[in-house]
Amino acid sequence: MPKVTAQDLIDRFSLQVISGEEGSARVISTSDISRPGMEMAGFFTYYPAKRLQLLGRTELSFFETLSLPERRDRMEKLCTYDTPGIIISRGLEAPPELIDASEKVGVPIMRSDITTTRLSSQLTNFLEAQLAKSTAIHGVLVDIYGIGVLLTGASGVGKSETALDLVRRGHRLVADDSVDIRQEHGNTLVGRAPELIQHLLEIRGLGIIDVMTLFGAGAVRPFKRVALNIDLELWDEGKSYDRLGIDEDTIQVIDTMIPKYTIPVRPGRNLAVIVEVAAMNFRLKRMGINAAQEFSDRLTDVIDESDKEDY
């Protein structure tokens, strides 16, 4: 499972560590961020101690109105052994009571000059990306007309060769052989290449080629949302393949279902063109234009008219 520590936030956002530096290895397990306004007022019944705590001008201004015993009590309850860290925004001064409480249990107190709202948004986006569910799939990811197409199939079926032909036709390679996929922002699947094999394609008989060097920076992209799966399989004479395209198959990646097309492979079939047309047809379907359904409707009308003439 992916994890983020307080030290990762310090490095990523250039945070200043005020106290509790020994707790910088504490793990942040959720992307939710808490602004403990109710806790400043003394209500700790539902205190989300395992969340990252963010203190802004509102919380600290109210804190200054409290008596000294109340300040100590609030900060001691705020700093627990489960609290991954506390961040103060706007470059505000940390209350002495907070520093004392953090030193007792080793909670890292960090400070940023960024405004509270903007900092909360940046922290949430970063944590969601880092803590998102992820998986690795054997396949090729290509950006075709803005559609992220994941090519899968048995080893040697022609995935990389098809991707190379698509790149030559002006489309962009994201990843070859292994695709790292994260489920971000709900059900959005984002695929990227492992750092070791970025921009590289393996072509049997030719070896490893650098797509960006051969075709330019416009032939690659670092990541892409995965919207469609095309599975390549060797032609099976005994299998019945879909010839209309009315019934759509799906595949589950992590917790998200995406459409799946199965394309049989045999000599003489131009896979790059077929995959390209499949992506364009998928795009048309999302715009409400379904050629297969329109054909089916026309066929039904013709049959109905024929039945009426018979009567």
Q: At what angle do helices 68-78 and 96-105 cross, to 10 degrees?
A: 40
Active site residue 165: no
Given a contact cutoff of 8 angstroms between Cβ atoms, the answer to whether 174 and 161 are in contact is no
Active site residue 138: yes
For 270-281, b/e burial (b = at least 16 CB within 10 A) is: ebbebbbebbeb
Q: At what angle do helices 116-131 and 6-13 cross, to 10 degrees?
A: 120
Active site residue 210: no
Whether 159 has a binding-site annotation, put simply, is yes
Of 71, 74, 111, 159, the catalytic one is 159
Whether 129 has a binding-site annotation, put simply, is no
DSSP state of 92: P
Whether 153 has a binding-site annotation, put simply, is yes
Pairwise CA distance, residues 297 & 68, whole Å: 77
Of 243, 266, 307, 310, the catalytic one is 243
Task: Kindly report each contact of residues 289-292 with a partner whose C-beta sits within 8 Å and lies 24 or more positions away, as own/partner.
Answer: 291/245, 292/244, 292/245, 292/246
Count of beta carbons in the 10 Å neighbourhood of residue 60? 18
Whether 103 has a binding-site annotation, put simply, is no
Whether 156 has a binding-site annotation, put simply, is yes
Of 3, 57, 118, 138, the catalytic one is 138
Given a contact cutoff of 8 angstroms between Cβ atoms, the answer to whether 17 and 24 are in contact is yes
Pairwise CA distance, residues 35 & 39, whole Å: 9
Whether 56 has a binding-site annotation, put simply, is no
Of 82, 177, 225, 283, the catalytic one is 177
Whether 160 has a binding-site annotation, put simply, is yes
Whether 154 has a binding-site annotation, put simply, is yes
Active site residue 177: yes
What residues form the annotated binding site?
Answer: 153-160, 202
What residues form the annotated binding site for Mg(2+)?
Answer: 160, 202
Active site residues per annotation? 138, 159, 177, 243
What residues form the annotated binding site for ATP?
Answer: 153-160
